[in-house]
Amino acid sequence: MLVLLMLAVFALMIAYFCYSVYFYGGRWVANPHNPRISSQKQSVIMGAVRDRDGTVLAYTDERGERRYHGSRDTRRAVSQVVGDSGGKVSTGVDTFHAQYMLGFRSSVFERVMDAVTGTPQRGDDIRLTISERLSRYISEEFPEGKRGAVVVLNYKTHEILSMVSMPQFDPTDVGAALSDEAAGALINRATQGLYPPGSTFKIVTLASALENLPDMDDFAFNCTGYYPVGNYSVTESAGHGIQSLSDAFANSCNTTFAALSQDLGYEMLGETAERLGFNENFMFGDLIVYNSSYPIDDLSAEDLAWSSIGQGRVLATPMHMALIASAIANGGVMNEPHLLAEITTAQGGTRQLPGSFDGVRVMESHVAQRLEKEMIRVVKSGTGRRAALSNGYVVAGKTGSAEASNDKTIETHAWFVGYITNDNAPYAICVLVENGGSGGGVAAPLARKTLQKAINLGL
Mean pLDDT of 47-73: 95
**Which domains are seen in the chain, by residue range?**
198-338+355-457 (3.40.710.10)
Q: Which amino acid is residue 65, in one-letter code?
A: E
pLDDT band at 175 (very low <50, low <70, confident <90, very high): confident
pLDDT score, position 189: 97
CA distance linking residue 166 with residue 113, whole number of Å? 44
pLDDT score, position 180: 72
> Is the predicted pLDDT of residue 114 greater than 90, yes or no?
no
- Cβ pair 104, 29 in contact under 8 A: yes
419 Cβ contact list (under 8 Å, min separation 6): 155, 325, 326, 328, 329, 395, 396, 397, 426, 427, 428, 429
> Is the predicted pLDDT of residue 444 greater than 90, yes or no?
yes
Least trusted range by pLDDT, from 244-253, 303-312, 397-406: 397-406
Question: 234: which strand partners?
Answer: 227
Cα-Cα-Cα-Cα torsion 273, 276, 281, 282, nearest 10 degrees, comes to -150
Kindly report the average pLDDT of the chain as a whole number. 89
Give me the helix-helix angle, 254-275 and 202-212, nearest 10°: 80
pLDDT score, position 225: 87
pLDDT tens per residue, range 197-238: 999 999 999 999 999 999 888 899 999 989 899 888 888 888
pLDDT score, position 42: 73
| Of residues 231 and 23, more confidently modeled | 231
pLDDT score, position 19: 45
Mean pLDDT of 182-195: 92
Least trusted range by pLDDT, from 209-213, 287-291, 403-407: 403-407
> Is the predicted pLDDT of residue 128 greater than 90, yes or no?
yes
pLDDT tens per residue, range 94-112: 999 999 998 876 665 666 6
CA distance linking residue 99 with residue 97, whole number of Å? 5
Mean pLDDT of 50-76: 96
| Of residues 352 and 368, more confidently modeled | 368
pLDDT score, position 18: 43
pTM of the model as a whole: 0.91
Give the H/E segment covering residue 221. Answer: strand 221-223
pLDDT tens per residue, range 234-270: 888 888 999 999 999 999 999 999 999 999 998 999 9
Least trusted range by pLDDT, from 260-274, 290-304, 321-335, 365-379: 290-304
SS3 243: strand
> Is the predicted pLDDT of residue 9 greater than 60, yes or no?
no
pLDDT tens per residue, range 419-436: 999 999 999 999 999 999
pLDDT score, position 415: 98
pLDDT band at 82 (very low <50, low <70, confident <90, very high): very high
Question: In sequence order, what E strands does 42-139 have?
Answer: 49-50, 56-60, 66-68, 125-128
Tell which residue, 156, 127, 93, has the closest CA to residue 335. 156
- Cβ pair 439, 199 in contact under 8 A: yes
pLDDT band at 177 (very low <50, low <70, confident <90, very high): confident
pLDDT band at 140 (very low <50, low <70, confident <90, very high): very high
Cα-Cα-Cα-Cα torsion 276, 265, 314, 406, nearest 10 degrees, comes to 160
